[in-house]
Every structure is written in structure tokens, then in C-alpha cells.
Amino acid sequence: MTAEATDEARLVHRTTSLCRVCKNALPADVVATAGGEVWMRKACPHHGAQDVRLSTDAAWYEETRAIKQHAAPPRIRHKTIDLGCPFDCGPCDAHGQKVRLPVVTITSACNLDCPICYVHNKNDDAYHMDVDDFTRILHHLRDDHGGELDIVNITGGEPTLHPQLLDLIELAHREGIHRVTVCSNGLRLARDEELVRRLAAVDARVALSFDSFERDADYLLQGAHLLATKQRCMELLEKHGVSTTLIPVMTRGVNDHEVGALIAYGLGKRNVRHLEIHTITYTGQGGVHFDRAGRISMYEVLQRIEETTAGLLGPADFVPSPCAHPLCYQIAYLLIDPDGGPPIPFTRFLARDELYRALSDRLYMEPTPGLEAVMRDAIDRLWADGGADAERILRLLRRMLDDMFPTDRALTRREALAAGERAVKAIYVHSHMDEETFDTERAMDCCDSNCYPDGTTIPVCNYNVLYREKEAHFNREPAVWNERSGGHRLTLRVMP
Amino acid sequence: MTAPRRLEGKRCLITGGSRGLGRAIALAFARHGARVAFTFRKNQGDADDTAAALRAAGCEPLVFQGSVSDAAHVQATVKAVVAAWQGLDVLVNNAGTTQILPVALIEEEDWDAVMDTSAKGAFLFSRAALRTMIRARSGHILNIGSFASERVIEAPIHYAAAKSALRGLTEALAREVGRYDIKVNLLSPGLLDVGLAQILPRHRIDEYVSQAAFGRLGSADEVAELAAFLVSPDNSFMTGAKIVADGGL
């Protein structure tokens, strides 16, 4: 990509990044260009100058970055500072956020070899985490990071290839986790209805990668024509009432024009709770060699959403997560009309700062005092002041409360949560970093970490860029420090 | 030591007895030797479970389905109980309902439904039962209120109003029928491990627990035991009283 950052560029902030070749730490300037974009500029003594665009809108970038997140550091640190961020992960003494989105990588096995895969996997002598290790991780999360957990995300590889997946899900529920999500490419689920039924029985949530409705884009991103498979998978998940999150990876010029269709698809499915839209990252076994023209910034995704949802959602309908760096997560909530009317973004009846406050210190919307206070104020305001959509919004809110708090029986907390999430759906835009865009300021405020049985937690971007490639569990030939790995193909075998 | 059987042979009718506190009261009364009848509105499965639990405790219950605000159902139920047992010693007006709603979202029909169940239902059942109790020159009516009407806490206004109405009903009725040695009392439990606590957000429960002297929720069983005492012959001089069992809020 051509560097547009010029000498006239205005410095926005300084940070530490990584060399895209050797991954050594480099000082980096983040600058706003005369054209209104934000670029990161750095130079490796061995591999030269490196510029990368971080945002197409400097005003949005600076305004968003200025939002102060809720500080909630981890209770227990596992590493002292030695080499500096991002080389002391554990978390180290400098890390600012406890883990809110724990990611547990339970297997190295995968039955797909996506060109955009941003991690490393291996199928020969595949690694499967055992139940004891998984238990230790859950206990560390509770003890080291504090209290109840909104979510645990089980990932791989392809977690449905783990022989004890269902046991792990049940274990997480027994430990009081509110939501247990299982990332999946959907291949096995599409042809194993019994597994889908059993996932429903253990109240698993499937986080299904679903990138495109178009044949060419589908193949380009996943290395196979999978649309029919994904749709079959969705049929089964819907049939068995499995709560589902759709995870499309946005790639400029490939599928970004489809984001509105993907959102409409998710909002229209009763079992879909959220959409989590990722921006492509160029790391891992596949991503390293993917075409850089596909790089897309958070703000561009928000713009595409506005362009392709006919005004349903725009950048102003999103707020950052209060418990992550503001440039990492943008979230919009929509009130769903069960009668088929258009969904209503929360920002149509809440100011953005109220919505931000309502999320309080949660990554996912939970019935907190903050949420209750904000919603009550909103209801009173709608009722007293009226307005174009006030009656309809009040009617939908009332239906949501009736579903969550029926008078003829008490729902379990899980049932009430599910009822709430049928009435209110979230769209997350999550921007991961790779070697080129890496910014330690964001890494230090990350709440999204890969977790180990000894209590170590590593922010997922750090993990994907630096740590996973060095683990024998996931690599036939683990990388060493000072080299970049990836770009290899996974050995695929016939798998269940 | 053998637990006391305060209600040996007493003929007791409990409204809303299929689940929650009503079920706990029915079972407690059975443990105390009472004959138990209960009503329920909708959930046949819960009613079957409660009836089975009562049978397991050695009590063959009478079970009636209907709405406490339906005068015909009320008349028929009391008539059937009296016909079966030749009288009625104890009525517990336990049936109630609530919705977690702010005032802006409470419609007229919501107000009516909550008031009908708690206040009108208690009136209808009390009036029907009193015809028998006055003839017998004895009886106990126990209305189940709520801490929602006893303390300054946030509660749905129709629920708080209905429970407050029960207080007025209790005090006035106790004075009116005291001359027949009929005791009418109001038992106002705090937040229990059944009912409302199951649908409240966690932070509301935590707030309650932090404010209560005992630092915990009440159990349905301990409130049911208190109810058994209040309608037993051991309670010979208390009427028109409101008894608050909220763990020291």
C-alpha cells in the first residue's frame, strides 16, 4: 500500500509497534494526514520504513481514542515487566484490563484451511486440551480476574473436533459462566444434526464464521465453496434453537459491500443473538500472505454498514465498549420488532453517552444497575416527551419486559437472558491488530485474552501475532523470536 | 424431641398454593397435621407436583383451578371445601401476581390484573369463608402481604398498592369480625428464595441482602412455619396485626 503520510502530517500520538518482518518492537508515530486519514509510521533498522493506514477518518479516530474506558485491572499479575509490552504477557504489571472475553483454545485440529486464517494450527499429532486444564483455566479466571464471567469463548482450530467439547461446555456452565460460545466454521455441524441437538441441550452458543453470500468471495476468503454448508448449518442451529453469533470477517473490495445483507440475515434469524464483525488481519498461517488491498479500518466498516443498511445503522449508532480500548470494539444495540417492523437502534432513544454508561463495565449487555437506571430514564422520557417512534419503542420495550419477566412463572436467569437477547440484538465491530497495525496502547487495554491453565492470559492480538506461532501445540515447527512465520498450508485429513 | 403439630385436624384453604410460598405453606400445614385445600390458576404441572408432595406427607389435598378474582370460582371452591370437610378453619389469601414494570409501562389492564388478584381475590375469598367461620364462631384468615408495602423500597406501583390494600383490609376486617373470635392478620415476608427473587436482577437481590440485618434472603419454609403459628390455636390474642418477616430490613 502506498504511504500517504507526509512530512506535513500532524502527530496524533506515539506508541510502540512491531516490525512487519522481524516483529521486533519499534517506536511508531501515529499521524493525521492532510487528507484526513490516520497512518502509523515506523522504521525498522533492518527492514526499513513501514507505513500503514489505521483509519480513513482522523476526526473519528481521535474522538474515539479520547474516550476513557473503565479501568478494571486484573487482580493477579503473572509477569513482571522485563522487556516491555508486548513481550511480557501474563498479564504483566502494566496491563490495564482484566479479562472480560476469555478465549480458550481447546484444539489445534481444523478441517478447513482458510486463506484468511490468522492463527496457526496443526492436524498431525493434534492437541486437545484436557478437562483438568480447562477447569484450572476457569478457576483462574474467577480468582484472578474477579467474580462472575459474562462469557467464555471456546475456540481452536475447530472446536467441534475436540472429543470432549460437550463436557467442557457443561463444566463452564457449572462454574457459573453466563454464556459459553463455541467458534466454528460449521462444516461438522452442517452434517451432524445430532451434535447440533446436543449443543442445544448443553446451552452452547455457536459463533459461526459466515463471511459472504457470494460464491467468489466465499472461495477467496475460506478456500472452498461453503455457502450451502453454512446455510445448512444455520438451518440446523435455528431448528434446534441454538443461540448463534455470526462472525463475518470484513475485507475491503471482497465482501464489505455485503455487510448490510449479513446484518439483515442475522437480525432476521430468531436464534441469532449477535453479529460480531471482524476486520481482516494479516497474521497467522493464512493471513500473512493475503492480499493487503483487503485491509479495512473500523471506520470504513461503519461506513459500509451505513451504506448497505438503508439508514438502519450508521457510525453514530455505535459506541465503544467501556471495557476495551475504544479503537478495538464498536457496539450497536437494536430493539427487535417481533412483528417484523424495522429494528430500532438504541441510539434513537438514548444518547450515545447514556448507552455507553448503560454498558457500564460489561462487554455484553447484562442487567446491571447502570443499565436499569439508563433504561428507566429512557422509558420515562419517551413516555413524557413522546416523539415520532415513542409509542412503538415503548410497546417493544414492554414486550421485552413481559418476555423476560412473565407473570405465570419465573424464568431461570439463563432463560431471561435469552429472552432479552431475542428482543435486543447487538452488532459488534471488532478490529484485531496484526504486526503492521500493532499498537501497544491498545494491547495494554485489551480485555480479550487467550487463557492458559497456569493462569497466564495473553491479549489475543499479542497471542496471534507473537505467541501462538511459538507453541508446539499448534505448530509442527514452532517459530522463534525475531522471525515471522505463517504462510503455510494446513494438512487436511478426513475428519468427523 | 417431636416437632409440634400446631394444626392437627384443622381445615385449611390456601389460594395460589401450587408454587412458591403458597406451596411451602401448604406443605408446612400438612406437616402440622392440617387438612389442606389449595387453588391455582394456570400451571397444572405445578399443582400436580404440590399435590403429590402433600400426599407424600400424608395429606390428601383438595385442589381447585380458577382465578381468585372470579366470584363464581371462589363461591364454588369454598362450598366444595365446606361440603367435603363440614367447615373451614383457616383461609390463607396468598395468591398474588406482579410485573416488573415502571409506571410509564403499566396499563389499565395491568393495574386491574394485579389489584384483582391480590386485593379483590382476598376480599372474595374472605367473604365466602366468613359465612362458615361466623357460623362456627372461630377461624383464622391470614393475608400474605409483602415488604414492598412495608418499607421504602422500589417496587412496581400496582404491586405495592395491592399489598397495601391488603393491610387496610386486614385491619378493618379484624375489627369487624373480632367479635366472632375470628383472627385476621397480615404476614409480610421480605425477599425470599422463591417468587420475586427468581426474576429480579442480581443487583437488586444483592442490595436487599446488604440492607438486611441477617444478610440473606428468607426461605419459604421459615415463613411458612411462621404462617402455621399465626393460624394455629397458639395464636389466641393477635388479630389485625401485620407481621413483618424480612430479615431485619
Q: Is residue A109 part of a domain?
A: yes
Query: Burial of A372 by CB count in 10 Å (0-12 exposed, 13-18 middle, 19+ buried)?
Result: middle
What's the rounded mean pLDDT across residues B184-209?
Answer: 87
Alpha helices in A240-308 (DSSP H): 259-268, 284-287, 298-308
Is B203 an 8 Å CB contact of chain A? yes
Same domain for A133 and A47: no
**Residue A276 falls inside a structural domain:** yes
Provide, as residue numbers in chain A, all residues whose Cβ is less than 8 Å from the Cβ of B201: 367-368, 372
With cut-offs at 50, 70 and 90, classify the pLDDT of residue B74. very high
Q: Which residues of A touch B43 (CB under 8 A)?
A: 408-409
Question: For A370, which residue in chain B has the nearest alpha carbon?
Answer: B203
Instruction: Give the pLDDT confidence score for residue B149 in this predicted structure.
Output: 81
Q: Residues A390-412: what's their mean pLDDT?
A: 86
Whether the per-residue pLDDT at A381 is higher than 70: the answer is: yes
Query: Does A118 lie in the same domain as A49?
Result: no
A204 with A242: CB under 8 angstroms?
A: yes
Point out which residues pair with A278 in neighbouring strands: A249, A430
Q: Tell if the CB–CB gap between A408 and B42 is shorter than 8 Å.
A: yes
What does the pLDDT read at residue A78? 87
Q: Tell whether A393 is covered by a domain.
A: no
Q: Which of B115, B203, B217 to mutate to test the interface with A (most CBs of A within 10 A)?
A: B203
Reported pTM: 0.85
* A 190-219: CB under 8 A from B: none
Sheet holding B242-245, edge to edge: B62-65, B35-40, B11-14, B90-93, B139-144, B182-189, B242-245
Residue A494 has pLDDT above 60, yes or no: no
Cβ–Cβ gap B199/A402 under 8 Å: no
Find out whether B83 and B37 touch, Cβ atoms under 8 Å.
no
pLDDT over threshold 60, residue B119: yes
A372 to chain B: closest CA residue: B201
CA B148 from chain center: how many Å?
15
Q: Are B199 and A403 in contact (CB under 8 A)?
A: no
Question: How many of the other CB atoms lie within 10 Å of CB of B26?
Answer: 30
- Residue B247 in grid coordinates: 430479615
Taking residues B147-176, what's their average pLDDT? 90
What cell was used for A23?
516483529
Are A193 and A154 in contact, with CB atoms under 8 Å apart? no
Indicate whether A25 and A107 sit together in one domain.
no
**Distance from C-alpha of B95 to C-alpha of B22, rounded to nearest angstrom:** 8
Structural domains counted in chain A: 2
pLDDT band at A415 (very low <50, low <70, confident <90, very high): confident
**Beta carbons of B144 and B94 less than 8 angstroms apart:** yes
Shortest Cα–Cα distance, A77 to chain B (Å) = 28
Write the CA distances from A202 to A13, A163, A172, A175, integer angstroms. 47, 15, 10, 13
Question: What is the rounded distance in angstroms from the CA atom of residue A62 to the CA atom of residue A39?
Answer: 12
CATH number, domain of A293, equals 3.20.20.70
Q: What is the DSSP-derived secondary structure letter of residue A474?
A: T
By DSSP bridging, strand B139-144 and strand B90-93 are parallel
Q: What's residue B171's pLDDT?
A: 97
Strands A38-44 and A25-32: antiparallel
Domain assignment present for residue A299? The answer is: yes
* pLDDT value for A485: 63
Question: What are the two backbone dihedrals, phi and then psi, of residue B177, each rounded to the nearest 5 degrees?
Answer: -110, 5
B195 to A410: CB separation less than 8 angstroms, yes or no: yes
Same domain, yes or no: A27 and A122: no
Q: Do A382 and B202 touch (CB under 8 A)?
A: no
Residues of chain A found within 8 Å of residue B98, distances taken between Cβ atoms: 407
A461: helix, strand or coil? helix
Decide if B199 and A405 are in contact by the 8 Å CB cutoff. Answer: yes
> Residue A200: inside a domain, yes or no?
yes
Strand A25-32's sheet: what is its strand order?
A10-18, A25-32, A38-44, A48-55
How is chain B split among helix, strand and coil, in percent rounded to 5?
A: 50, 15, 35
Alpha carbon B82 to its chain's center: 19
- Residue A401's pLDDT is what? 87
Averaged pLDDT for residues A207-218: 96
Residue A359, domain member (yes or no): no
Does A228 share its domain with A274? Answer: yes
pLDDT category of residue A495 using cuts at 50, 70 and 90: low
B100–A372 C-beta distance less than 8 A: no
| Same domain membership, residue A43 and residue A108 | no
Is residue A476 domain-resident? no
Interacting residues of A249 by C-beta distance below 8 A, sequence separation 6+: A116, A209, A211, A221, A255, A277, A278, A279, A280
Nearest-CB residue to B199 (from A382, A383, A410): A410
Residues A184 and A46 in one domain: no
Which amino acid appears at position B53 of this protein? A
Taking an 8 Å cut-off on Cβ atoms, the answer to whether A367 and B99 are in contact is no
Give the pLDDT mean for A479-496. 65
pLDDT of A10 strictly over 90: yes
Residue B106 C-alpha, separation from nearest chain A C-alpha, in angstroms:
9
Q: What is the mean pLDDT of residues A445-466?
A: 96
Q: Is B208 a catalytic residue?
A: no
B198 to chain A: nearest residue by CA?
A410
Q: Single out the catalytic residue among B47, B159, B189, B247.
A: B159
Amino acid at position B157, single letter: I
Which of residues 328 through 387 in chain A touch B, CB cutoff 8 A?
367-369, 372, 376, 379-380, 382-384
For residue B113, list chain A residues with Cβ-Cβ distance below 8 A. 407
| SS3 state at A48 | strand
Distance CA B208, CA B246 (A): 10
Q: Which pLDDT score is estimated for A123?
A: 94
B110 → chain A, closest CA residue = A407
**Dihedrals φ, ψ of A247, to 5°?**
-125, 90
**pLDDT over 90 percentage in chain B:** 85
Helical (H) or strand (E) element with A181: strand A179-184
Compute the nearest-CA separation of A264 from chain B (Å): 29
Kindly report, residue by residue over A38-90, the tens digit of the pLDDT: 999 999 999 999 999 999 999 999 999 999 888 888 999 889 998 889 999 99
**In sequence order, what are the residues at sequence separation of 6 or more whose Cβ sits closer than 8 angstroms to the Cβ of residue B141?**
B90, B91, B92, B93, B126, B129, B130, B133, B173, B182, B183, B184, B185
The whole-angstrom distance between A311's CA and the closest CA on chain B is: 29
Q: Is B201 on the interface with A (CB under 8 A)?
A: yes
Distance in angstroms (rounded) separating the CA atoms of residues A59 and A183: 34
Q: For B237, what's the count of Cα atoms within 13 Å in the CB-facing half-sphere?
A: 0
Q: Are residues A61 and A111 in the same domain?
A: no
Whether the predicted pLDDT of B57 surpasses 90: yes
In the predicted model, what is the mean pLDDT of residues B234-245? Answer: 96
Reported confidence tier of residue A95, pLDDT bands at 50, 70, 90: very high
| Same-domain pairing of A188 and A141 | yes
Pair A159, A41 in one domain = no
The answer to whether residue A436 sits within a structural domain is: no
Partners of A329 in the beta sheet?
A430
Which of A369, A397, A410 lies at the smallest CB-CB distance from B198?
A410
- Examine the fold and report which residue of A19, A48, A66 is the final residue of a domain before the chain moves on: A66
Q: In A, which residues are within 8 Å of B102 by CB distance?
A: 376, 379-380
Q: Is B109 on the interface with A (CB under 8 A)?
A: no
Q: Give the distance from residue A406's alpha carbon to the nearest chain B alpha carbon, in angstroms.
A: 7
pLDDT at A2 over 60: no
Q: Are residues A49 and A132 in the same domain?
A: no
B199 touches chain A (CB under 8 A): yes
pLDDT confidence bin for B151, thresholds 50/70/90: low
Whether B58 and chain A come into contact, CB under 8 Å, resolves to no
Instruction: Give the least confident one: A411-425, A438-452, B95-109.
Output: A411-425
Check residue A5 and give its pLDDT.
47
Whole domain around residue A250: which residue ranges? Answer: 101-342+411-430
- Closest Cα in chain B, distance from residue A418 (Å): 13
Q: B121 CA to chain A: closest CA distance, Å? A: 16
Cβ separation A397–B97 shorter than 8 A: no
pLDDT-derived band at A487 (thresholds 50, 70, 90) equals low
Domains and CATH numbers, chain B: 11-245 (3.40.50.720)
Whether A54 and A105 share a structural domain: no
Q: Which of A379, A381, A402, A407 should one mutate to test binding to chain B, selecting the residue with the greatest count of B CBs within 10 A?
A: A407
List of residues 6+ apart from B28 with CB closer than 8 A: B221, B224, B225, B227, B228
